[in-house]
Every structure is written in C-alpha cells, then in structure tokens.
Amino acid sequence: MSTGVRLIRDDRLTQDVEYAYAAAVDAPVRAIWLAGACPLDADGATVAPGDYAEQAHQVMRNLVSALDAAGASLTDIVKTTVYVASSRQADLVTAWQVYREYMGAHDVPSTLLGVTVLGYDQQLVEVEAVAVIA
C-alpha cells in the first residue's frame, strides 16, 4: 500500500529535531482519527506501572493494532501527540525514544507533552494520531 503522506522539511528551520515540521496529503484520501493509544493489555489492565519505556512499547503496539483494524499502518500517520504523565524531561525523553523506535524514518510532525495525569490508573504514556490513506 502506498502512503499519501508527504513529510515537509524547511532549511530555514533547525534540522536538529526528530520530526518533520509539516506533513501534506493530496486529495482524495481516507482520513483516520485515532483515539489516544493507552498502555492497556487485552483485559484492560495498565501494563508496567511506573515504567515509562514499557508503557510506551504497549502504547505503540496498541496504536499499530488500531491502525491495522482501520486498514492503515504507522507510515500512514500524518500527525501525533505524545502525552507523558511527568514533569521530568527525562521521562518524556524515555517515552519519546520508544515512540521513535516504532516510527523509524517516518518522522511525522508530533507534539510531546508532559501532563499532570492521564485517564487510567497508573497510566504514564498515551499517543494519539491522525492517519490518511491515499
């Protein structure tokens, strides 16, 4: 399947970032808005309490599953938001590094946020995304 996503870089902006500054999609496309992927197992339990990296791995596995159910893959994503329940930058970086492992060269525009709390008991990481299929 060919992705309809074109990542945009601008040499007037720093290249010392791990994401494209914009993404463009030419019509017609099918758009997919994904709810925030959470670190829940198949029984609804939060995995790896206290472990940012392991929760990020579960989040990304769940995101891949949701994309697959919609007929899409990680390379169809045009934008993500990564939420980390922490005020420590090191925790945000830990979650971001796992996210980047999964995204690979498809470094879409993304926002990384430290937040006070997330919705599930002991939840530390969440990733929401928008994807398109050409």
Q: What is the pLDDT of residues 59-104, one digit of tens each?
A: 999 999 999 999 999 999 999 999 999 999 999 999 999 999 999 9
Number of H helices, E strands in the chain: 2, 6
pTM: 0.92
* Six-digit token string for 133: 């299929």
Q: What is the mean pLDDT of the chain?
A: 94
pLDDT of residue 125: 98
In the chain, domain spans:
6-133
Q: Which CATH superfamily is domain 6-133 in?
A: RutC-like (3.30.1330.40)
Assign 29 a pLDDT band (cuts: 50, 70, 90).
confident
* Six-digit token string for 20: 């494209």
Is the CB of residue 105 less than 8 Å from the CB of residue 75?
no
In the chain, where does DSSP find H-type helix?
Answer: 52-69, 89-103
